Amino acid sequence: MTRRIQREKMRATWALPSLLLFLAFSSSFCKASASASTKQDKVGHLHSVYIVYLGKHGGAKAEEAVLEDHRTLLLSVKGSEEEARASLLYSYKHTLNGFAAILSQEEATKLSERSEVVSAFQSEGRWAPHTTRSWRFLGFEEGLDRRPPDDGGDQWLLPSSLDKASEDIIVGILDSGIWPESRSFSDQGLGPVPARWKGTCQGGDSFPSSSCNRKIIGARYYLKAYEAHYNGGLNATYAYRSPRDHDGHGTHTASTAAGRAVAGASALGGFARGSASGGAPLARLAVYKACWPIPGPDPNVENTCFEADMLAAMDDAVGDGVDVLSVSIGSSGAPPRFADDGIALGALHAAARGVVVSCSGGNSGPRPATVSNLAPWMLTVAASSIDRAFHAPVRLGNGVTVMGQTVTPYQLPGDKPYPLVYAADAVVPGTPANVSNPGSTVHDRRSQCLPNSLASDKVRGKIVVCLRGAGLRVGKGLEVKRAGGAAILLGNPAASGSEVPVDAHVLPGTAVAAADADTILRYINSSSSPTAVLDPSRTVVDVRPSPVMAQFSSRGPNVLEPSILKYALFFFFCRLPSMQPDITAPGLNILAAWSGASSPTKLDGDHRVVQYNIMSGTSMSCPHASAAAALVKAAHPDWSSAAIRSAIMTTATTSDAEGGPLMNGDGSVAGPMDYGSGHIRPRHALDPGLVYDTSYHDYLLFACAASSAGSGSQLDRSVPCPPRPPPPHQLNHPSVAVRGLNGSVTVRRTVTNVGPGAARYAVAVVEPAGVSVTVSPRRLRFARAGEKRAFRIKLEAASRGRSGARVARGQVVAGSYAWSDGGAHVVRSPIVVIFD
């Protein structure tokens, strides 16, 4: 216990170096930013796809009656019934009440002014996917798998009690589709499809209805808003007009969440060979394809997903009967208010029906205030590493060896030195020095190996050192190959530290950490004829420390409404709702199934075909959390979505596999802004002891309070906002956060005993620096399972921190409180305070 308290104190205070700078311009986040394709009608009015949100259905209505209501509402702003029918794209009829239609801004404004309409907002294309040893590592980290690491695979053993129960769980995947022929989606040995399933297998291009089976029990696709935006049909060269996955992203996330156990799986070149399995391998899959290629010079590389399409998919998924919905998709730009956020609205109504919605937190780290998918009724997932690496030594001509990583299957001919050149010294004349990428980070363009930047006469036959930053990692390798280079040596920028995402480049190559990149560049600058040898790569397991927070993983605090630890303080100028991710899970270098229509790099000109591929991103961590939610649902089918999220969050760990504090990829100690409640422990979540439950009505009150701060709104016209709704920090969430603590604030929470019977719990507190924390009562007694107990947490600002130093403005301090029964149950919640 002493060692644990010392570790907690070590994490309890840290500063976000760029937080004050962020405060200086964060007001820009409060302004809506979007670009939507528009069309002109005969009289010159511009039209776009809008979502008209009406709240919750007012009672049992036939689908045709709901559709007719929506057409009637459209007719109030359209000139004829025919025009109203033609403009309607989707009628949301299962859980939330609303529709998507092609409207002018004037028409949308008129609709928004009607009493039955909550909001009308444009459906935008700023959403995109957040681009297997991981499950075995989770078991090892929980102390439940102590077998020797015989391979790089992912042998994940379910508790035997869940074998049958998990077959009745249905996991929905909202993504780019699925490659049904993958061995990960075999239905061998599975029983009949659950009788409650109401979905369908929508056939289409290269996807007959027979593509579904007892594993993939349903599949649909949605592209009306996509095609309306791009003013034309889908380019069939780059996508299937069906649930079939051309991209690979959806197949990867589906197999990570619920893929069957497959022996002998590996990436291209045999890397990470072993048993691959999803976290809930016996659960059923329902696929909802809503992401499509962006037209342009290389449409394979990036997909886009429109809110109107996604909302239709979410509405159908809940109506079909899914238990968990995995959404590895996030938005760019300023976070919208809840009433204008399609994923947040869909997730709210899914949660009201008991469906857990797990979302990726984004790949814009390590900059602060970048986490997306902010609503407290979602489970927002950050990304961290596992204990596997792909060691590839780089031997420099001066005798120094640095350790790189790669899953590139190619080797340079002969075990001999090759000339080494820095990309900045080998560019074509006239290449500009600087380029800005999204996020306003400035890079030296000459070092980036961007398309057509390298001079062939300077790189031919050489190993080219390129730096990460602007452009795709695999695109840099393609540029080196185009210019005639022999191999690529890809160096991290300082912000990425030791985190090394690996790629199957189109030529020999490896990637190195930031410190090793500096070592290589110093050697090049000191030698008249620098050389290097790239040794073959090999898969290594049991790497320490692990897990480590991925530098790309988006961080808190958030510009919405920090009154909850993804949420939990009234924040900055927007004063909306959220602070950091809820949880972290494996998302760096994850092996999973892949589309047979996509190469491992997704680049035009790369015609290699793989069954399994290694990817990195919060897109990969999200399905890990989705699988954990599926397992908890299988063990406790009567639990609410909030109770399941609580179980996952309060049983997370803030320690690595060796018992030390979780670290960031740059070597700093991580904290709640990085990992939320901590690193996921799926088996512990099956028996959390206590849970924090929350209702649909509680969420509506939360949104009302956020609305008074400028970030939310009344989300259901049938539930009016009270004149003084409870402040957002009073939402019964498994975390506490406050901004600008002056004097004191008291937070109220209620826990439910989900243990087998009577129980007693005592609280232990680790105070944030400069904050006094008092929990009362300090002991909770439960006479039976299902009993609830309330308690208060009083936070009071102290003039100085524990060290005696005054706490600086903008400093983020963290602590925790944990309820323990003295046995197996420790129910931990983080506390975060930002000082003004």
For 685-695, letters b (16+ CB in 10 Å) and e give: bbbbbbbbbbe
Question: Cα angle at 237 between 235 and 240, to 5 degrees?
Answer: 75
444's enclosing H/E stretch is strand 441-444
3-state secondary structure of 9: helix
Question: Cα angle at 749 between 747 and 753, to 5 degrees?
Answer: 160
d(CA 536, CA 522): 24
d(CA 733, CA 728): 10
Is 619 annotated in the active site? yes
Taking a C-beta distance cutoff of 8 angstroms, is the pair 317, 343 a contact?
no
d(CA 25, CA 14): 22
> How many other CB atoms are found less than 10 A from the CB of residue 192?
9
3-state secondary structure of 626: helix
What is the sign of the dihedral through the CA atoms of 7, 495, 379 and 161? negative
The tokens for 208 are 């007959």
Q: Which of 319, 327, 193, 825 is nearest to 618 (CA)?
A: 327
Catalytic residue among 619, 640, 713, 829: 619
Chain-centroid distance of CA 510 in Å reads: 26
288, HSE (Cβ side, Cα atoms, 13 Å):
27
Taking a C-beta distance cutoff of 8 angstroms, is the pair 497, 513 a contact?
yes
3-state secondary structure of 148: coil
Taking a C-beta distance cutoff of 8 angstroms, is the pair 480, 487 a contact?
yes
Catalytic residue among 94, 246, 249, 624: 249
Q: Tell me, what amino acid is at 356?
A: V
Q: What is the dihedral of CA 634, 636, 637, 638, to 10 degrees?
A: -170
The tokens for 95 are 């859980």
Q: Which of 277, 283, 251, 281 is nearest to 151 (CA)?
A: 277
3-state secondary structure of 20: helix
**Spatial CB neighbours of 232, under 8 Å, sequence gap ≥ 6:** none
Q: How far is CA 606 from CA 255, 405, 609, in A?
A: 23, 21, 9
Catalytic residue among 175, 341, 606, 821: 175
d(CA 303, CA 768): 42
SS3 per residue for 120-174: EEECCCCEEECCCHHHHHHHHHCCCCCCCCCCCCCCCCCCCCHHHHHHHCEEEEE
Backbone angles phi, psi at 543, to 5 degrees: -75, 140
Taking a C-beta distance cutoff of 8 angstroms, is the pair 654, 661 a contact?
yes
d(CA 512, CA 521): 12
Which residues are tagged catalytic? 175, 249, 619
